[in-house]
Structure 1
């Protein structure tokens, strides 16, 4: 990839986010912000929790994701997810399975920004709905600041959904205060979500290659369709 192509990727991601707001993806729009890097020999167990209360207790949504992932080489990372949900006052139920692969396109620091592509395939449980998503991941550093963009194109199909093509954009500005604490500001834009709010990230190093990474974010809705507040929590054990 030459420098011109790298700059084109940046322009594409900005254009993508600014001019496609009429077709943002539906569902819980607040989620993990992906970074473009793959570490060789890395293995991880990930637990994610997201909760929102769009229209009171009867409409509350809780989502739980449990995953195992590992790097295939120094460019590819693969992960498999089990997704559970709790709707309203109901029970936690298995909702979906998901396969994910990240392809790091450039070496860190090779260009003015770092790039990767993300591929996701999800099958809903008990209903005939499939989803395939591709995301361009862009990250750029300014001193102790990092800016990250995840620009998604999403295709949904199946007997229980109208086939459609949608997009969404997730942005994060992060200040690398220390390894254990990195405050951030996140912006999410999708069909049913336009929200902004603070997040905090950190990592705790253990013996050898082992470490625990954590994230917590509270996203406030910017329009009537978005829940007033969405809480997201993440913990990864890397080994």
Structure 2
């Protein structure tokens, strides 16, 4: 595999992300950008918070995700999520369960870019709604810079929803200033969500434990996307 493969995959995923479908899956357009790496013997607890503020607070939504993850071997990583949401004026309620599997396809630095596949299965708690997503993850480094691409195909089905199919694209350009601070710019694109904004992330280490953190403020680029979305992620690895 060489640089030609990287650009071929990039062109393919950009093409897939632009495919027009009849309907879209529900959910927030801004989430996080996944990286293709699996660390053997790793365990983690993840807390994710996303707050979307469209024009007018009456339609704001907050989402909380709590997860436990563990590497199964040197290539596979599994994670189980609880997903809760809070709409404006309502209480925080558990909404869904999610299982996630990541398969690292190449060793870091083995080729001109690093590759992985991501699989997600989600079930709504109180409704017969299922969602399955598959993503290609590609990451390439240029000195202190790295670019990461997540290209998703998402399918929803069940008795309480019309069958839906969508594609979406998440992109991140990151500057590795230091282990503790890495500024980045993220772009999220789907049929009903287009957003761009700055993110800062980093890692704190002590002994064999690590705390990864990310915080970003993402701005909507069209009338269908919330004006601002704040996202916060904490990962405790041990």
- Interval containing the TM-score (normalised by the shorter chain): over 0.9
The offset of 1:146, in angstroms, is: 0.4
How many positions carry a matched residue from both structures?
Answer: 236
DSSP-derived class of the 1:165 partner: strand
Task: Measure the CA separation in 1 of the matches of 2:90 and 2:125.
Answer: 17
- Secondary structure (helix, strand or coil) at the match of 2:115 reads strand
Q: CA deviation at 1:216?
A: 0.3
Structure 1: distance between partners of 2:144 and 2:184: 12
**Does the 8 Å contact 2:25/2:156 carry over to 1?**
no
* Residue 166 (structure 2) aligns with: 166
Q: Which whole-Å CA distance do the structure 2 matches of 1:67 and 1:233 have between them?
A: 14
- What is the match of residue 217 of structure 1? 216
Alignment of structure 1 residues 26-175 onto 2, 5 Å: 26-175=26-175
Match for residue 193 of structure 1? Answer: 193
Q: What residue in structure 1 maps to residue 234 of structure 2?
A: 235
Indicate if the aligned counterparts of 1:25 and 1:167 stay in contact, CA closer than 8 A.
no
Deviation sequence 1:156-178 (CA, Å, 0-9, x none): 00011110111100000000000
Runs (4+) of structure 1 moved beyond 3 Å? 2-8, 21-26
**TM-align CA RMSD:** 1.4
Change (3 A) 1:190 1:24: farther
Work out the CA distance in 2 between the residues paired with 1:20 and 1:141: 28
Instruction: Give the CA deviation at 1:26.
Output: 3.9
